[in-house]
Structure formats: structure tokens, C-alpha cells
């Protein structure tokens, strides 16, 4: 595994967090910012990042606000939502990368919620982003899921409201969904589930309009064994990007040499993904 450089970043509001930078052999290689799933520390993606670097793509894996190296934790006193992640932390992150890797095309991708947030980051800063790479991601809109999972999503929404009122945060690590999350993050998540629209609390920016106007290459990779990010959810998210050059891969066991991959297990088999993804990014 390629050694990672750890970079400390301070956002405009004073929030501090670290990001791992896995460098490819060529300084001019494209750089991929890869965002974590809900409640998932960036160390989970080290194997994928190192494999991509070995295929000629720099990869940056940041810790999100409230997790791991972040200087804050979700609590009754500290709350944040999608707006802070996309409009404050992302700005500081992209500025840092463009200084360290001048001339490298910037791709943004992510896993699950990270893939959704990557599209919002691109919509917010389209002049700084070359393309998108959501993996095992898609909209959480209820209409994308079968009845059983719709009930599960509704239940999570109820739990987030109750726990937010009682303890000041969402204790995802205790119930097996995500991690310790801010009330605002879960409020934005639930809003997307019920409306299908990205309208983060507190923002003045029209993300839905910006997504519809966005024009850049997009590769979405999903897995047939993934119930949390089914093909319908990925298609719903891609449907918000009509001006983009979109390509959607949905892999089954036949696409991975018989290895069964699902919402999380793909992170343990990066060698199955990296060569094909890196080649696609380099061709676009």
C-alpha cells in the first residue's frame, strides 16, 4: 500500500480536520477527492485510495466534520448539516488540493452519502471540478426503495428526531446505522428521503437548479448485491444531472470474477475496481 501524506486543514469557521493524500507517480495525474459514507472514517478507504494511486490517480480521503480527526463532535451544543460539509469544509479542501497539485484535474466522488454530497460540491463549485465518481451511492428518496426499506428509512427519520431532542445528536453507532451524527445532517438526510430534493437547511444556494445545469463527466458504479444503494437510487441521482456526460455501471458477480460485492464489502477488494475506474477517469 502506498504511504499516505496526512494534511491538516482549517476551514473558514475554524473547523479543523485531516485528509490523507495518496500520490500517484505523475504529479500531473488527476486527483480524486473521495468522501466517506455516513458515519464512516476515511481510513476505511485507504486500500481503495492506494490502489487508485497505483493506477495513476492521486486520491484524497478527508475526515468529515464530526468524525475521526475532526475538531468537533455532534452534540447539543454543536450542530451542522449538509451546508457546512459542502459549502465550508469542501471549499477549504479543494483550495488545499489545488495549491498542492496545481494543474491536476479535480474529480470528486464518494461512497453512499459521500457520493450524494460529491454532486452537491460539484454543483456549488463547477469551475473547480472536472468530474464525478459516486460509488455504491444514489438518492435516498423513498420511491427508489421497496416497501421494507421504505419503512426502515422512515423509522430512522423518527429515531433521528427523537434522539436529537433527547440527547442532542443521532447515536448511529448504537443502532447500527452510520455513526454519531449531527441533528442537522440527519434532518437534511430525511428531507431528501421524503422530497427527493437537495435543499440543505440554512443555504441560500439553489442546488436543484445548479445540478440541472451542471455539465461534466460522471461515472456511477453500483452493485447488484447492494440493497442500500440499488440501481434505481443511482438512476434517480443521475437523473438530476441531465447535462452531464453520464455513465452507469451496475456490477454483479460476473463483473468481478465471482467476488460478491455489496454496499460495504467493495472497500475490501479495491483491486477489482481501481484499474477500470482509473482508466475511465484518465480517458475523460
| pLDDT tops 60 at residue 1 | no
pLDDT at 224 over 60: yes
Mean per-residue pLDDT, 220-236: 96
- Cα distance between residue 230 and residue 177, in whole Å: 17
- As a whole-number percent, the residues of the chain with pLDDT over 70 amount to 99
210, pLDDT greater than 70: yes
Q: Would you state the pLDDT for residue 173?
A: 83
* 59-103 per-position pLDDT tens digit: 999 999 999 999 999 999 999 999 999 999 999 999 999 999 999
* Phi, then psi, of 31 in degrees rounded to 5: -120, 135
Q: pLDDT digits over 15-33, tens only?
A: 999 999 999 999 999 999 9
Query: Residue 245: pLDDT above 50?
Result: yes
Residue with cell 496526512: 6
For the ranges 57-66, 79-88, 168-177, 181-190, the lowest mean pLDDT is seen at 168-177
Which pLDDT score is estimated for 164?
86
Per the CB < 8 A criterion, the answer to whether 203 and 115 are in contact is no
Q: CB–CB of 33/22 below 8 Å? A: no
Tell me the mean pLDDT in the region 182-194. Answer: 96
Q: Is 2 a residue whose pLDDT tops 80? A: no
Q: Give dist(CA 190, CA 221) in Å, integer.
A: 24
C-beta of residue 122 within 8 angstroms of C-beta of residue 149:
no
Contact at 8 Å (CB) between 105 and 130? yes
| pTM of this structure | 0.96
**pLDDT surpasses 90 at 174:** no
The alpha-helical segments, DSSP class H, found in 6-124 are 46-54, 82-83, 90-100, 113-124
Cell numbers standing for residue 195: 422530497
* pLDDT above 50 (res 236): yes
| pLDDT band at residue 175 under the 50/70/90 scheme | confident
Q: What gap in Å lies between CA 20 and CA 93, rounded to an integer?
A: 11
Amino acid at each position: 500500500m502506498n504511504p499516505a501524506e496526512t494534511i491538516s486543514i482549517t476551514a473558514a469557521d475554524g473547523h479543523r480536520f485531516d485528509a490523507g493524500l495518496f500520490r500517484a507517480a505523475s504529479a500531473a495525474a488527476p486527483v480524486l477527492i473521495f468522501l466517506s459514507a455516513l458515519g464512516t472514517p476515511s481510513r476505511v478507504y485507504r486500500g481503495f485510495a492506494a490502489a487508485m494511486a497505483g493506477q495513476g490517480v492521486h486520491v484524497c480521503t478527508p475526515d468529515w466534520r464530526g468524525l475521526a480527526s475532526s475538531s468537533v463532535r455532534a452534540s447539543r451544543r454543536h450542530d451542522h448539516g449538509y451546508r457546512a460539509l459542502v459549502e465550508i469544509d469542501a471549499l477549504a479542501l479543494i483550495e488545499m488540493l489545488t495549491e498542492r497539485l496545481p494543474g491536476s484535474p479535480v474529480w470528486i466522488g464518494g461512497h453512499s452519502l459521500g457520493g450524494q454530497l460529491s454532486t452537491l460540491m460539484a454543483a456549488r463549485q463547477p469551475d473547480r471540478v472536472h468530474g464525478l465518481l459516486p460509488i455504491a451511492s444514489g438518492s435516498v428518496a423513498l420511491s427508489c426503495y421497496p416497501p421494507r426499506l421504505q419503512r426502515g428509512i422512515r423509522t430512522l427519520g423518527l429515531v433521528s428526531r427523537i434522539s436529537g431532542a433527547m440527547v442532542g445528536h443521532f447515536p448511529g453507532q448504537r443502532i447500527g446505522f452510520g455513526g454519531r451524527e449531527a441533528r442537522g445532517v440527519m434532518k437534511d438526510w430525511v428531507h431528501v428521503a421524503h422530497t427527493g430534493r437537495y435543499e440543505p437547511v440554512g443555504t441560500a444556494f439553489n442546488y436543484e437548479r445548479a445540478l440541472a445545469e451542471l455539465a461534466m463527466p460522471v461515472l456511477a458504479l453500483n452493485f447488484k448485491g447492494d440493497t442500500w444503494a440499488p440501481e434505481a437510487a443511482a438512476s434517480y441521482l443521475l437523473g438530476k444531472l441531465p447535462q452531464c456526460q453520464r455513465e452507469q455501471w451496475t456490477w454483479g458477480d460476473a463483473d468481478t470474477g465471482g467476488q460478491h460485492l455489496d454496499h460495504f464489502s467493495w472497500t475490501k477488494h479495491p483491486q477489482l475496481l481501481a484499474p477500470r475506474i482509473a482508466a475511465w477517469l484518465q480517458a475523460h
